[in-house]
Amino acid sequence: MSESRRAVVTGAASGIGRATASRLLLEGVSVLAVDLRDPEIEGTESFVCDLAQPADRERLIESSHGVDYLVNAAGVIELKPIWQFTVEDWRRIQTVNAESIFFLCQGIGPRMPSGAAIVNLSSSSAKLATTLEAAIYAASKATILSITRSFAYALAPRGVRVNAVCPGIVDTPMQDQVLDEVAHLRDMTRNELEAARNAMVPLGRPSTAEECARLIWFLLSAESAYMTGQAINWTGGMVTW
């Protein structure tokens, strides 16, 4: 791998994506920070695009030749009773959360050098069904696990590793959205829902985005050189399989 390392991080404007971009900068990696709006992270190169649009994905792929790391952290969520989701909801969420990851892995992976690595952001919701209000989001995150396994096999001959992270409860703007909207849908207060969710975590607290970024860096780095095709839980013990 070249001494001058370069990464693409999607969803870099907030949450885990932003924390990962910042961690990569600390590790001396040049970062192309991708989001629907300018991530405005000092020291990174911003790339504004809509990952739901094939033409925008192609622009990103063409700007990513030879990158050492790809972190697919972009994602959207919509929350409503499971009976009220529409076909349009399904297509919108799956397009951003799953379709974009498949085609970025397909487009960027074969251009990466030996020793490179990809990390896809899945979720504990890929393995649990406790938040039915996020059923389509959960389905998209389960799809990511299959995408990760497929590209781990496809890119292994190139020496490119592909792993996934399954975060549980992490302090991010998306988590705030979940707490606010699900509490409303369940006729609870936000504090009541937050306490109930934290009670599901054996370690008794949510993770910070920065803590999760440490795991992502481990999976990108040579410290995990013998790992590929894995889905690593980051749930404080809430999920153990």
Residues marked active site are found at 137
Decide if 30 contacts 21 (C-beta within 8 A): no
Q: Which residues pair with 185 in a beta bridge?
A: none
Which one-letter amino acid corresponds to residue 44?
Answer: T
Q: State how far the alpha carbon of 78 is from the alpha carbons of 87, 132, 133, 155, 177, in Å.
A: 13, 11, 8, 32, 9
Gap between the Cα atoms of 222 and 234, Å rounded: 20
Gap between the Cα atoms of 119 and 24, Å rounded: 13
Which one-letter amino acid corresponds to residue 80?
Answer: K
Range list of β-strands (E), the chain:
6-10, 30-35, 45-48, 69-72, 117-121, 161-167, 170-171, 207-208, 231-234
Gap between the Cα atoms of 109 and 67, Å rounded: 9
